[in-house]
Structure 1
Amino acid sequence: MNTMFDSSNPASAPRVWEVGALCHAIGDALQARFNPVAVRGEISGFSRAASGHCYFNLKDAGGQIRCAMFRRNAEQMGFYPRDGELVEVRGRLGVYEQRGDLQLVVEQLQRAGQGAWFEQFLRLKAKLEAEGLFDTARKRPLSTMPRGIGVVTSLGAAALHDVVTALRRRVPHIPVVIVPALVQGAQAPQSLVDALQKMYLLAQSGQGQEADLAQKSPLIDCILLVRGGGSMEDLWAFNDEQLARTVVQSPVPLISGVGHETDFTIADFCADLRAPTPTAAAELVAQPRELWLGALDLLQDRLESAVQRVLDRSAQRLDLAAQRLGRPSEQLSRNHLQLARQAQRLRHAMLFKLQRMTQNQQALQAQLPQSLQRRLEQQKQGLERMDLRLQLLDPRLVLQRGYALLTDTKGKPVTQIKQAPPGAALKAQLADGAVDVVVTQPRLL
């Protein structure tokens, strides 16, 4: 027999709920029955909103449930969840009343089977952070132009190929020293520690020997500790406490490039700088060669302009000094001598300044084109020609050709016959001395 709802019998009528009140009541029931709850499942449709909140579905073969993880909890994750990844979550089951959907508000999220490892990671991170190993004050800036780059990684790792390729493309002139180490497995932490300590000795002395070439290693100004991506187990060697303490002992800036952008290890926090990938680590210490060549070209132009201005000012001073020369006389000779001394000092000052500029720009000097060297030589020759012109104005050269400078008894130059009447006493200045003369018979030309 079918039973139908009898509206005429109030005792058989169910309670009439408001929609919101019913959703709230269901949420209370779920809270009392299940929460807190731990669920294992596969992530699907993971997304992070601009607010920092994360939304995804957790599913398995039997069903799926909507999940939300608010920003304050999402910031505590040590990795970026990916679709298809098996995880374990802890949170509270409830109803999202605006849509009437069952929803799990996630408070903790970790990869399945790695909960104990993640807790160990957090404990070590908190311990080392409390000791100051992560302090930004001890982080050192990178050298803009390292003389040598050290790399610690596995010789068979793809990360080594990526790093070497990036360095060869950007800075082929900078030498690279590789110290191999295991990057995965139980022996990897100690292997990494030993490799770093060996690299530190090379960086401190610069006198190490390369294993195959038996040549002196270059000076090392930075070290790259790199490894490609992988699971938490694959990267666990870089969460070792002894390795962390070894990283902070580096005598030069150390960059950690371990895993992918979303992977974090203890070594990342201890390093002077963390790179999202091994390739990015190489690019951080390898400014493109074209950038530096452009800077050298700019410095070359500035140096050439500065030298030209100095030479032009010097030439103007010589021309002005030559214009101020008047009629030949003893005072003029003294002025010329003083001018010659000033010119000599000016030449010495210019040479000294050029030498100082050359010393301060040793790196630039190697790049200066031959055209600039020829230009400097031309300016030097021009300066010597100006000096020769100045010497030709010396009145003593005129006297050496047989001419004499006549003056009266007061030292006034005699330039006209009316200044030399018969019987006048004069003085004739010759190239090597002076003679007294008496006018006997003036003659007009």
Structure 2
Amino acid sequence: MLSVGQLNRRVGRLLEEGVPMLWVTGEISNFVRASSGHWYFTLKDERAAVRAVMFRGKTAMLDFVPASGDRIDVRARVTLYEPRGDYQLQVESLRRAGQGNLYEQFLAIRARLQQEGLLDASRKLPLPAFAHRVGVITSLGAAALHDVLSALTRRAPHVSIVIYPTAVQGRDAATEIMSALAQAQMRNEVDALLLVRGGGSMEDLWSFNDESLARLIAASRIPIVSGVGHETDFTIADFVADLRAPTPTAAAELVCRPRQEIINDIVGLTDRLSRHQQRMLENYSLRLDRLTGRLVSPAQKIRSDRVRVIHALRQLDSSMNTELAHKKNRVALLNQSLEHAAPQVAHARSRIAAVLARLDRAADRFMNQTQRRFERAHTQFETINPRAVLGRGYAIVYDETGRVQRDPAILQEGQALTVELEKGTQQVRVIPNRS
């Protein structure tokens, strides 16, 4: 013999073990939302009704709260409430009625597009680093448009906005959205497009699951950011777009950088450029100082060349004297040899005379050649002599440090200068140009 409690427990186990988890569709009545967070309601149709409960941990996962009169599909286990002996549905999840078929269509469309590679990250376009003009495809009356405009005005007031109005819900919404997108592609006047609308049920968002629209988005030459619904909402448009944002406001924030952030980057780059220019100026200044140290003033160059010429003349004079002394020694030796050759004195004297004549002619030729070489060297020296330029009326101007000045634009009024002329130098001062 069993007690009532034992009987109910056995029946409960039979129900739980014999009836698997299943989907049940019906209409809600007597909906109660308890303070504990649990939901209690009756699920009914034209012929029957059954009690149902959905505990708080499951209700928190839904993005909507049903009400009496709503038609829903529930996924539930069949259990027995032992104190009363009533069986009930313990609901694990629920959805609005009809969403099961829509969701199956959603999965089928996504699978086809994924198989064709339209969902691959490799084909997605990068967003522009600095967007100057942004297009918004949405309804003029949508709250999403207000959110996007507010975010762009606050975040990037420098960005221009072009609105392509369209319906975002209803039977013809997908066609209108495709028309707006095609118009944006044809006009090609924006750097990026925002496809946005607020949250809603799967039926409300279904136009964004249209396969033709998805293919048009995938083929867009302009980067598209999808911001449809809330963070938990997903549409086919989200998967084929170049970037998915959880909300319309987030889409606006993703498409453009804050103005202040751009200004900060510009200031940072300007500082880096200024430091780089300063380093370059310092390096060139060091090079200029080294090169300046290697320069020789014209006066010093003239003195050096004059010393070299005098040294060359002295070497030439010494060489001529040495050669003449050598020739004289040979003549003396020949004279001595002639004096010892008595039988041929007259002949020897005649040879000596001839040799002397040849020696005189050779000496004359040597002297003439040497004189011509000296004259050519003197002419070349005078050609490169800076003093020759001074003789034609030019002058060399030095500043207080002895540097040659070439540009009158860098001279200061009252600055002391030294002017070197052909026959001497003169101290002067700079006066302002009165012309």
Other-structure match for 1:305: 275
Q: Choose the corresponding residue for 1:182, options 161, 164, 167.
A: 167
Q: Choose the corresponding residue for 2:301, options 296, 307, 330.
A: 330
Do residues 169 (structure 1) and 169 (structure 2) align?
no
Q: Choose the corresponding residue for 1:146, options 118, 131, 143.
A: 131
Q: What is the alpha-carbon distance in structure 2 between the residues aligned to residue 191 and residue 332 of structure 1?
A: 94
Other-structure match for 2:64: 82
Q: 1:34 to 1:275 in 2, by over 3 A?
A: closer
Q: What is the alpha-carbon distance in structure 1 between the residues aligned to residue 138 and residue 304 of structure 2?
A: 78
Do residues 247 (structure 1) and 217 (structure 2) align?
yes
Bigger Rg, structure 1 or 2: 2
> Is the CA contact (8 Å cut-off) linking 1:46 and 1:82 kept in structure 2?
no
> Aligned with 1:329: secondary structure?
helix
Q: What is the alpha-carbon distance in structure 1 between the residues aligned to residue 236 and residue 149 of structure 2?
A: 25
Q: 1:245 to 1:111 in 2, by over 3 A?
A: same
Q: What is the alpha-carbon distance in structure 2 between the residues aligned to residue 185 and residue 106 of structure 1?
A: 31
Do residues 391 (structure 1) and 404 (structure 2) align?
yes
Q: CA deviation at 1:281?
A: 0.7
Q: 1:33 to 1:186 in 2, by over 3 A?
A: closer
* Residue ranges of structure 1 left out of the alignment (5+ in a row): 1-12, 48-54, 204-218, 335-385, 405-445
> Is the CA contact (8 Å cut-off) linking 1:326 and 1:332 kept in structure 2?
no
RMSD value, Cα: 4.1
Do residues 230 (structure 1) and 200 (structure 2) align?
yes
Do residues 321 (structure 1) and 309 (structure 2) align?
no
> Aligned with 2:404: secondary structure?
helix
Other-structure match for 2:77: 92
Q: What is the alpha-carbon distance in structure 1 between the residues aligned to residue 141 and residue 9 of structure 2?
A: 58
If the length of structure 2 is used for normalisation, what is the TM-score? 0.59
> Aligned with 2:77: secondary structure?
strand
> Is the CA contact (8 Å cut-off) linking 2:148 and 2:248 kept in structure 1?
yes
Query: How many residues align structurally?
Result: 304
> Is the CA contact (8 Å cut-off) linking 1:69 and 1:106 kept in structure 2?
no
1:44-443 counterparts in 2 under 5 A? 57=39, 59-60=41-42, 63-66=51-54, 80-84=62-66, 87-94=72-79, 109-203=94-188, 219-325=189-295, 328-330=299-301, 390-392=403-405, 399-400=420-421, 402-403=423-424
> Is the CA contact (8 Å cut-off) linking 2:15 and 2:78 kept in structure 1?
no
- What one-letter code is carried by the residue in structure 2 that aligns with 1:128? L
> Is the CA contact (8 Å cut-off) linking 1:225 and 1:257 kept in structure 2?
yes
Q: What is the alpha-carbon distance in structure 2 between the residues aligned to residue 242 and residue 289 of structure 1?
A: 37
Q: What is the alpha-carbon distance in structure 2 between the residues aligned to residue 332 and residue 175 of structure 1?
A: 74
Q: What is the alpha-carbon distance in structure 2 between the residues aligned to residue 84 and residue 199 of structure 1?
A: 39
Q: 1:393 to 1:274 in 2, by over 3 A?
A: closer
Q: Choose the corresponding residue for 1:14, options 2, 20, 41.
A: 2
Q: CA deviation at 1:127?
A: 2.5
Q: What is the alpha-carbon distance in structure 2 between the residues aligned to residue 22 and residue 192 of structure 1?
A: 58
Q: What is the alpha-carbon distance in structure 2 between the residues aligned to residue 26 and residue 84 of structure 1?
A: 28
> Aligned with 2:252: secondary structure?
helix
Q: 1:43 to 1:304 in 2, by over 3 A?
A: farther
Q: CA deviation at 1:181?
A: 1.3
Q: What is the alpha-carbon distance in structure 1 between the residues aligned to residue 304 and residue 12 of structure 2?
A: 116
Q: Choose the corresponding residue for 1:28, options 4, 7, 14.
A: 14
> Is the CA contact (8 Å cut-off) linking 2:51 and 2:88 kept in structure 1?
no
* Residue ranges of structure 2 left out of the alignment (5+ in a row): 44-49, 306-398, 408-417, 426-435
Q: What is the alpha-carbon distance in structure 2 between the residues aligned to residue 28 and residue 389 of structure 1?
A: 116
Q: What is the alpha-carbon distance in structure 1 between the residues aligned to residue 75 and residue 280 of structure 2?
A: 76
Structure with bigger helix share is 2
> Is the CA contact (8 Å cut-off) linking 1:43 and 1:84 kept in structure 2?
no
> Is the CA contact (8 Å cut-off) linking 1:57 and 1:65 kept in structure 2?
yes
> Aligned with 2:196: secondary structure?
strand
- What one-letter code is carried by the residue in structure 1 that aligns with 2:404? Q
> Aligned with 1:391: secondary structure?
coil
If the length of structure 1 is used for normalisation, what is the TM-score? 0.58
% of aligned pairs identical? 42
Other-structure match for 1:429: none
Other-structure match for 2:430: none
Q: CA deviation at 1:43?
A: 9.1
- What one-letter code is carried by the residue in structure 2 that aligns with 1:159? A
